[in-house]
Structure 1
Amino acid sequence: MLSQHKYKLKPLLRNNRLYELAVYSDKKMLFRFRDSLNLLPGKLSSLANNLCPELGPKGSIEHDKVELSNLASRKKSLLEYLKQDVLLLGGVMQKAKDRYWKLYSVDIESKITLSSLALSIFRLKYYDSSN
């Protein structure tokens, strides 16, 4: 665990890939960040277009033009871009969560990867342990 003042960060890494970063205060987990690409592989723009088009387009910025020296002058446009990204990712995750629950009664919040989600669905819906 990494420690920063009163918070502790606990990364979940496998094969040099970050799956989750949990934030703790004492022994209580406050929140966690997960890499959504492990659960819903695909471009955010495509996922948002298919699952929640009512939230609008993803937007874009010229990443190669963003520099420390021009952050202040680009603050408004960068914050709008980031706000839309967060809105879209939240919408995509909520729609995916609703669909998987409706179709399979599986909560994707307990899954970190698409393969773990698929295995859970297979075991729940298609695997017959009596055979």
Structure 2
Amino acid sequence: MSDLDAGVLAEKLGIGPERVEKTLSEMGVPYSAPPAEPTESGLYVTADREWLLWLHSDGTGWGRTEIKGVSNNRTSWTDGALWLTTGWTLVVRTLGNRAFPLMTLEEALRVPSGDEDK
């Protein structure tokens, strides 16, 4: 049996994830917590280097673009959400575990991707 996703449960219940995590912990129920949401607006690269994300400073939320050559198409999130979302659990669910932790664009440009040897 896999761990319960506390972020999704919190979203479905309409309550804060911290409250769900505290309750599950007190009950001894194994759960997985979503990665912490960055608070600083700007550009981020996923750990698998497949997506460029941006957190807008005006509070409109997260957007994403697939990193593919010169393509620069805005991409919708799962569940029919528009290309901008303020729902961090939706971002986490759409991108999957391989995408985390996120790196700022500056960090990603400093860290080699491992493709230089090829």
- Say yes or no: TM over 0.5: no
Higher relative contact order (CA closer than 8 Å, sequence separation 6+):
2
Q: With structure 1 as the length reference, what TM-score do the two structures score?
A: 0.27
Higher helix share: 1
Q: With structure 2 as the length reference, what TM-score do the two structures score?
A: 0.29
